[in-house]
């Protein structure tokens, strides 16, 4: 029997060399290809399909209201960030989310996600508990 730790399967390349490069990070933050996972009051966005709700940066960063995005890593060369949007009153409305999309407690969501996604969730929620951390 193989035991898999629920929060251990993070598919993101942490890109250690790039995360220390301020110019690269600044460019990645505004890149159209970058993906953002919004967290509202430490609740993670779950899409209508039941998977993590990665969104384009333009949809999410405007709701960050001064909270810097947290660089999580790369997937196939695409930068992925977490963005705290807790200051938003109604994020479902503000983001124009489809029916079925919702914000859910990180731990509860992790129990239903695939192993790779649960590893990502742990990092996202932990990263946003340290306010004002960009990397």
Can you give the pTM of this predicted structure? 0.80
pLDDT of residue 67: 85
| Integer Cα distance of 126 and 133 in angstroms | 11
* pLDDT for residue 84 is more than 60: yes
The 10s digit of each residue's pLDDT in 22-57 is 999 999 999 999 999 999 998 999 999 999 999 999
- The count of residues in the chain is 135
């Amino acid at each position: 029997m193989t035991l898999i730790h629920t929060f251990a399967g993070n598919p993101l390349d942490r890109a250690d060399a790039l995360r220390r490069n301020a110019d690269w990070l600044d460019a990645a933050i505004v890149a159209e290809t970058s993906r953002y996972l919004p967290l509202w009051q430490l609740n993670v966005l779950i899409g209508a399909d039941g998977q993590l709700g990665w969104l384009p940066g333009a949809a999410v960063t405007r709701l960050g209201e001064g909270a810097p995005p947290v660089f999580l890593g790369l997937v196939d060369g695409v930068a992925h960030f977490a963005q705290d949007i807790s200051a938003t009153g109604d994020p479902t409305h503000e983001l124009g989310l489809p029916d079925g999309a919702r914000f859910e407690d990180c731990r509860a969501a992790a129990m239903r996600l695939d192993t790779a996604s649960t590893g990502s969730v742990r990092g996202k929620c932990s990263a946003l508990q340290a306010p004002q951390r960009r990397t």
